Amino acid sequence: MSTHIASVYDEDLKYLARRISEMGGLAEQMVAESVRALVNADLGLAQKVISDDVLLDEAERQIGEKAIVTIAKRQPVASDLREIMGSIRIAADLERVGDLGKNTAKRVIAVTSTSLPRQLARGLEHLAELALTQLKEVLDVYASRSPEKANSIRERDEEIDAIYTSLFRELLTYMMEDPRNITSCTHLLFCAKNIERIGDHATNIAETIYYMATGSQPAGERPKDDSANTVGAINS
């Protein structure tokens, strides 16, 4: 490979890495704003999140197209091929994170007519903080390509599951105490599930980074709170 071709190839890889970082920043922002819109009944902010999803979709499309062209032209192997394929997988996970933020924002309209109990608001905010922290950390690991840190994030997935399970039970209690809470709490159940799934996508990204760095999948089953699996089956 000539020096010029190698330089162009490096630029292609840098483009993919830069676009992934931009997608990650936008996905983080959308999730944070969707929860803030929900807690504060901010319809304008909710609409902004819904509109921003188009930007994330376009970014994923551009990454996919660039990756395909790069593979066709450069015919990469080994670590370079893993780098490109990993970019496609991570972009897909980030696009789904954006969708989950958008879905939460869409629920804002349904719950603005009711007052959100402060205790439930705190629970949603705490769950979102954990999910966003995990997402931010995994994007930092994407920059460093540390398999050890990627595996550490993967093993912490059950923390979010446990908080989600607790919040799920709390919402059920509100619904049983007063049937008038059923509609709003049902919407909040879906919002909580959206946030919990963001943690799952962050874990997916961590596993992809591990593969990109090592060429192998992380050992063992992904840690999972069994009660969260049961709750998820009820809520799906």
Q: What is the pLDDT of residues 25-82, one digit of tens each?
A: 999 999 999 999 998 889 999 999 999 999 999 999 999 999 999 999 888 888 889 9
Does residue 182 lie in a domain region? Answer: yes
Q: Are 207 and 142 in contact (CB under 8 A)?
A: no
Does residue 235 lie in a domain region? Answer: no
Q: State residue 4's pLDDT score.
A: 47
Which two structure tokens, joined as six digits, stand for 63?
């990454």
Q: State residue 229's pLDDT score.
A: 52
Q: State residue 99's pLDDT score.
A: 97
* Tens-place pLDDT, residues 129-141: 999 999 999 999 9
10 Å Cβ neighbour count for 40? 14
Does residue 234 lie in a domain region? Answer: no
Q: How far is CA 235 from CA 38, 99, 183, 229, 230, in A?
A: 19, 18, 14, 10, 9
145 phi-psi bin (left φ>0, alpha ψ -120 to 50, beta other): left
CA 33, CA 104: separation in Å to the nearest integer?
10
Percent of the chain at pLDDT above 70? Answer: 88
Q: Residue 5: which CATH number?
A: 1.20.58.220
Q: Is the pLDDT of residue 3 over 90?
A: no
Does residue 65 lie in a domain region? Answer: yes
The total domain count for the chain is 1
Does residue 236 lie in a domain region? Answer: no
10 Å Cβ neighbour count for 131? 29
Say if residue 102 is exposed, middle or buried (CB neighbours under 10 Å; 0-12, 13-18, 19+): buried
Q: State residue 2's pLDDT score.
A: 52
Confidence of residue 184 (pLDDT cuts 50, 70, 90): confident
CA 134, CA 154: separation in Å to the nearest integer?
9
State the residue range of the domain holding 69. Answer: 1-228
Does residue 233 lie in a domain region? Answer: no
CA 209, CA 203: separation in Å to the nearest integer?
10
CA 136, CA 28: separation in Å to the nearest integer?
7
Q: Rounded to 10 degrees, what is the CA torsion of 78, 142, 154, 203? A: -100
Mean pLDDT score, 145-155: 91
Q: Are 66 and 12 in contact (CB under 8 A)?
A: yes
Does residue 127 lie in a domain region? Answer: yes
Q: State residue 128's pLDDT score.
A: 94
Q: State residue 84's pLDDT score.
A: 95
* Tens-place pLDDT, residues 86-123: 999 999 999 999 999 999 999 988 787 676 677 788 88
Q: State residue 115's pLDDT score.
A: 66
Does residue 101 lie in a domain region? Answer: yes
Give the lowest-confidence range in 19-28, 168-177, 227-236.
227-236
Q: Is the pLDDT of residue 225 over 90?
A: no
Instruction: Please name the residue that has the structure tokens 């970019």.
Output: 87
Between 178 and 4, whose confidence is greater? Answer: 178
Q: How far is CA 224 from CA 31, 53, 102, 156, 170, in A?
A: 23, 29, 26, 9, 20
Report the mean per-residue pLDDT for the chain: 88
